[in-house]
Amino acid sequence: MRKKNLNAKKKIHNFYFKKLKDPRIKKIYLSFKKKLDDNNINNFCVAVSGGEDSLALTFLAKCYSLEKNTKAYFFIVDHKIRKNSTLESNIVKNKLKRFQIVSEILTFKKQKKISNLQSFARENRYNLIINQSLKKKFDLVLTAHHEDDLLENFFIRLLRGSGLKGLISFRKIKSKVKSDHKISILRPLIDVSKKDLVYITKNTFNFNVYDPSNEDDQFLRVKVRKLISKLEKDGLTFNKFKVSLTNLSKSNDAIDYFVQKNIYDNSIYLKLSKKIILKKDFLNQPNEIVFRSFSEIIHKIGKKKTFTRGSKVVNLLKYLKSSNNYSKKTLSGCIIQKIEKSVVISQEK
């Protein structure tokens, strides 16, 4: 390597390690590093949006890759929803290049009509990054979800009528994208505040892309964000919320124990025919246990991307519990048939 390039590389490395001397940034980095170390991270991908949160994550991830000598891929998604999205993506790519961060822009396919803009953007962003991660043979994607996101997601799911599992599921630091998928999502900043991430970005890269949708009241997330801001003025703190979330998580763990016990004790999996037989006692458990157990089995046999909508599961369970009709039913790629006091679930051809 030429002497000029070596000097430039040394200068950039010094930039990162010098920034880590800031006590506030150092504290967050040490917590970030511990989470990655605890999960035995070798190589990883980073989702970069250009916002303050993701750029803080980018800085921390770059520091980690330099310290540990690991490979890190940085993916920027051009969603094509705003007219300036391509320009913004290129600005982020070029800015990061100055800090010796090589990134790749992934682009959405154009869509004629989008009904739920934010949901569409989120799902497709994940799909693009996950598919590219698989091509690179990496099995971990770091995202910049933080404390404020955790609180917002809780309220959004509460407003949508989510059950206990849905309310606390976002709290996990690491989770599989799909139950049978190789890719996992790691949220190493889930206990870091938005203010801290803004501080990191301003005091390191000192640039970010502004997303006007973050102020648009037509989106539920923005409405919830403003509601939380009002509640904070009345005394709501993240620490108080965290206590409640911890208690809910303990309750969820207890339910999960009995869900797995019900599946183990009261169902039989026929591997060759890929069928599951539910014994009589499977449906005689408390409603929540039956609901979750049945949902997991339908998801396993049907092999769909997402879990079946709750209302459809509830209606089918009511039918199985109350009806003596033995006609076949279909749900999420499964054929369900009641045979005397048992239920047989097989994959739909």
Residue-wise pLDDT tens digits, 310-342:
889 999 999 898 867 678 899 999 999 998 889
pLDDT band for position 6 (cuts 50, 70, 90): low
Count of alpha carbons within 13 Å of 92, Cβ hemisphere only?
Answer: 28
* pTM, rounded to two decimals: 0.81
Minimum mean pLDDT range among 99-103, 215-219, 259-263: 215-219
Residue-wise pLDDT tens digits, 175-189:
876 655 678 899 999
- Could you give the C-alpha distances from 65 to 37, 42, 53, 239, in angstroms and in order? 12, 9, 18, 31
Kindly tell me if the per-residue pLDDT of 120 is higher than 70.
Answer: no
Residue-wise pLDDT tens digits, 283-295:
999 999 999 999 9
Q: Report the share of the chain in percent with pLDDT over 90.
A: 47
Mean pLDDT of the chain: 86
Fold of 251-347: Chorismate Mutase Domain, subunit A (1.20.59)
Kindly tell me if the per-residue pLDDT of 157 is higher than 60.
Answer: yes
Q: Say which residues have a Cβ less than 8 Å from residue 322's Cβ, sequence separation at least 6.
A: none
Is the Cβ–Cβ distance between 224 and 159 less than 8 Å? yes
Q: According to the model, what pLDDT value does residue 121 have?
A: 65
Asked if 3-147+172-234 and 251-347 have one fold, the answer is no
Q: According to the model, what pLDDT value does residue 3 have?
A: 55
The class of domain 3-147+172-234 in CATH terms is alpha beta
Kindly tell me if the per-residue pLDDT of 112 is higher than 60.
Answer: no
Q: According to the model, what pLDDT value does residue 146 have?
A: 92
Domain spans in the chain, listed from the N-terminal domain onward = 3-147+172-234, 251-347
Residue-wise pLDDT tens digits, 229-249:
888 888 878 788 888 888 999
Say what the alpha-carbon torsion angle 117, 133, 71, 198 is, to the nearest 10 degrees: 10
Tokens of 303: 């092999």
Q: According to the model, what pLDDT value does residue 115 have?
A: 56
